[in-house]
Amino acid sequence: MEFTALFLAVAVVMLAAWRGTRRWALSLFAATFVACVATYLHHATDVLKLSF
Amino acid sequence: MATLTPARAVTLNALALGAVALVLAAAFAAQLVLHELPCPLCLLQRIMFALLAIGPILNIRFGPRPSHYALSLLVAVAGAVVSTRQVLLHIMPGDPGYGTALLGYHYYTWALIGFVAAIVLIAVILLFDAQFAPAPAAGGVARMAVWLVIGLVALNVLSTLLECGFAACADNPAVYELLKRGP
């Protein structure tokens, strides 16, 4: 679900960059980028299921 | 040193959007043709590729600026970190890796190569100061490249919704959650 939301957020940032103001696009980009990094850190702390 | 005019820089950015569209389309093609659903880290790498397109879109719309390239650099570094983690997950000898290899490398290895290449290319483009002047309005090809990338991201929204449904995505997804028939 979180990945669907992230893809949707990226689509909104793209539309803002193409149609909206620059300030609005940069703000949305920052929020989406932070959300992506947070999602990565959440998954990076999962226990690794190593194959050996 | 050759001159990179604002108009040429906009064309280069349109080409960059084409490259991002190619990566997203190739990932989609592998998903549909090989029936291999992307794992959570694979999805995050696709998202990073899509975010990589924001800098070029801003460059085409508002003209080339160092800050727009900086956005892409930030995303490329983050994308390289994500793909490196997945490469390391499968680094042990004998590990088959996740998914089918394409030309000898898995998607996440190609992603790492792509993100590192993006970092190098953006750094090279930043060497040309002449591009940072008022740019002419974007042409039809550039506008088409923007809408192509936006369309591919919209398709990814749909595909990820079908794959994960309204819960957390499975670590090793085998079926589309929303297309699964009830017991």
Mean residue pLDDT across chain B: 89
What is the nearest CA distance from B100 to chain A, expressed in angstroms? 17
Task: Name the residue of chain A whose CA is nearest to B67's CA.
Answer: A26
Which has the closest alpha carbon to A3: B167, B3, B147, B140? B167
The pLDDT assigned to B182 comes to 61
Measured CA to CA, the distance from residue B107 to residue A50 in angstroms comes to 19
The pLDDT assigned to B93 comes to 79
Measured CA to CA, the distance from residue B55 to residue B62 in angstroms comes to 10
Q: Does B168 touch chain A (CB under 8 A)?
A: yes
The pLDDT assigned to B145 comes to 94
What would the pLDDT profile of B105-126 be if each residue is shown by its tens digit?
A: 888 899 999 999 999 999 999 9
What would the pLDDT profile of A4-44 be if each residue is shown by its tens digit?
A: 999 999 999 999 999 999 999 999 999 999 999 999 998 77
- pLDDT band per the 50, 70, 90 thresholds, residue B101: confident
Q: Give CA separation, B30 vs A26, B56, B102, B103, in Å.
A: 32, 26, 9, 13
- Report the residue from A2, A11, A48 with minimal CB separation from B153: A11
Q: Determine which of B13, B84, B157, B177 to mutate to test the interface with A (most A C-beta atoms within 10 Å).
A: B157
Q: Does B91 touch chain A (CB under 8 A)?
A: no
Measured CA to CA, the distance from residue B2 to residue A32 in angstroms comes to 36
Does ipTM surpass 0.85 in this model?
A: yes
Q: Determine which of B44, B59, B83 to mutate to test the interface with A (most A C-beta atoms within 10 Å).
A: B44
**Residue contact B157–A2, C-beta within 8 A:** no
**Residue contact A11–B47, C-beta within 8 A:** no
pTM of the prediction? 0.89
Measured CA to CA, the distance from residue A10 to residue B126 in angstroms comes to 24
Higher confidence at residue A5 or residue B95? A5
Q: Is the pLDDT of residue A48 over 70?
A: no
The pLDDT assigned to B114 comes to 95
What would the pLDDT profile of B125-177 be if each residue is shown by its tens digit?
A: 999 998 888 877 778 899 999 999 999 999 999 999 988 888 888 877 778 87
Measured CA to CA, the distance from residue A1 to residue B136 in angstroms comes to 41
Q: Is the pLDDT of residue B22 over 80?
A: yes
